[in-house]
Structure 1
């Protein structure tokens, strides 16, 4: 991609020509009856919606223009309802063999993976309970395939931490908040909280697909990550002779209840202090990431466009932190 600017660096009116990954592609019909192409295009910097209003501008057949395809596009950045998008003049399918570095098309965590894995190992080493430490070590240290996937997967398909390494970053963020909460509430079982945080989303490594675009696997659609990780926990516990049944139930309860409400996919409500804490910290970290991302998006005005993930607009005028105020 010689001289191709990151799409998240574009400003309104900037021209763009280059190869992008189509995370989504749909041929639609406008209110006036004309067909157009709507795309969600990405590179490592993020993604933007793209619109081609005249299908005659597609170079070559229409059939290869689909999700997970690489496309060469030409157009310009424009703003609609305060949100930046690409208004396209040309679109062409690009075979995989013509793309030199596929990794350059995926958004990635700002934190280096080796740094995050080192922090993960420090957290594991700090677990005092021998049963919990053995369970977590089996999953996150000894299972090399799971460890690799845990460091690669996004935290969600579209809601929060939607980039490679997002799941590990999200988990470590919750662990940091959980450590402070356990300092504040000494009645909490710190090791049980650590186990719940590390295990609450580990099933997303199998629920989500992230080799090309971000989506769901067959297992993800059929079972969901909560069912997947509950099965993994039971499997690993079964390999540890004498593992306490009460501890197995407590860990599973945190995992099964971490969405907080039945209508959000949890089969049970949080019924222990540790489960309640993991639920709220998980919810807080995900929503704050969505909000901070909206604050970083380009656009004029004090308010973001309506954010579907949070069901609200976000006020983008920030009051400076005390240490940054000139005295």
Structure 2
């Protein structure tokens, strides 16, 4: 099959993809069309069915594997597909593993590196908390390794939560070296746990969508609750340390309008916010550049960054 990462403007496509999203919409001229997102293990592409009533457009739903015939075009610097024909695929026409986006990095090696960093944590109570979840709980470990870090924006692939967490931890290790007054044990533990709520906020692949609790509570609150639960099951865990650790998690998005119930009040919470934002934004930029394909210096206006984006010169 031809994977989405290899698509180029002008390509003709005849292959099977996972329909991640499907919704009817109306154009400015009043004509109905359908928005579709197609996915394989290398990424996603926005697609349009401009004539949903055409005889070549079969019945299918989101999360179906579909055989698609279409043209790859470019809109505002981003590739998309115009679907001409589509039908639900037979099971014999695809291998499910080809449609799950997976980290380019080795998952077991990343987890090993993450645990090596956690050996830097000397506080016995924080070390017990880390051991409780990341060493002794096999079900938690397996879920953490496979989960994504987001629905679409960044690290939305198998191993994405692990890759993002490792990236944040590495930045926090640098911050501690640069600013020794930071409480290393608190910051590294908070970095390890900052997004664990996403295990409950986002469903497993191939859905990778928000759960009911994800919509109602969000990963920040659920992550803080998980940490609080673990701390309360460790005898004599200092109450002040629990509050500081939970505060770092509750404040890691930095601003109330970005979903944090609290703004950072501790230096460690501030450092965690910067590390999380840096890793998320630079990964998002990487994915935008990758999705735009080759041959475009100016990619176009991006609403997330509120800027007209351009590739840097390659010498």
Normalising by the smaller structure, the TM-score range is: over 0.9
Question: Within 5 Å, which residues of 2 pair with 1:81-160?
Answer: 81-94=76-89, 97-98=91-92, 100-160=94-154
Q: Following TM superposition, by how much is the alpha carbon of 1:105 offset from its aligned partner in structure 2, in angstroms?
A: 0.6
Instruction: Give yes or no for the alignment of 1:30 onto 2:27.
Output: yes
Question: Within 5 Å, which residues of 2 pair with 1:37-116?
Answer: 37-57=34-54, 59=56, 62=59, 65-94=60-89, 97-98=91-92, 100-116=94-110
- C-alpha distance in structure 2 between counterparts of 1:71 and 1:40, whole Å: 11
- C-alpha distance in structure 2 between counterparts of 1:301 and 1:75, whole Å: 22
Q: Is the 8 A contact 1:304 1:316 kept in 2?
A: yes
Give unpaired runs (5+ residues) of structure 2.
none
- C-alpha distance in structure 2 between counterparts of 1:221 and 1:128, whole Å: 36
Q: Is the 8 A contact 1:208 1:220 kept in 2?
A: yes
- C-alpha distance in structure 2 between counterparts of 1:236 and 1:58, whole Å: 57
The CA RMSD over aligned residues, in Å, is 1.7
Residue aligning to 1:206: 200
Equivalenced residue count is: 314
Q: Following TM superposition, by how much is the alpha carbon of 1:75 offset from its aligned partner in structure 2, in angstroms?
A: 1.3
Q: TM-score, normalised by structure 2?
A: 0.94
After TM superposition, the runs of 4+ consecutive aligned structure 1 residues lying more than 6 A away are none
Residue aligning to 1:170: 164
Q: TM-score, normalised by structure 1?
A: 0.91
Instruction: Give yes or no for the alignment of 1:254 onto 2:248.
Output: yes
Q: Choose the corresponding residue for 2:308, options 291, 307, 313.
A: 313
Give unpaired runs (5+ residues) of structure 1.
321-327
Residue aligning to 1:216: 210
Secondary structure class of the residue paired with 1:309: coil
Q: Deviations over 1:256-312 (max 9, x none)?
A: 111111121111111111111001110111111111222222165432122222222
Instruction: Give yes or no for the alignment of 1:238 onto 2:228.
Output: no
Q: Following TM superposition, by how much is the alpha carbon of 1:124 offset from its aligned partner in structure 2, in angstroms?
A: 2.4
Report the CA distance shift for 1:303/1:61 in structure 2 as closer, same or farther (over 3 A).
Answer: closer
- C-alpha distance in structure 2 between counterparts of 1:105 and 1:140, whole Å: 28
Instruction: Give yes or no for the alignment of 1:11 onto 2:8.
Output: yes
Point out the more displaced range, 187-196 or 293-302.
Answer: 293-302
Secondary structure class of the residue paired with 1:314: strand
Q: Deviations over 1:158-209 (max 9, x none)?
A: 2211111111101101111111111111111111111110111011011001
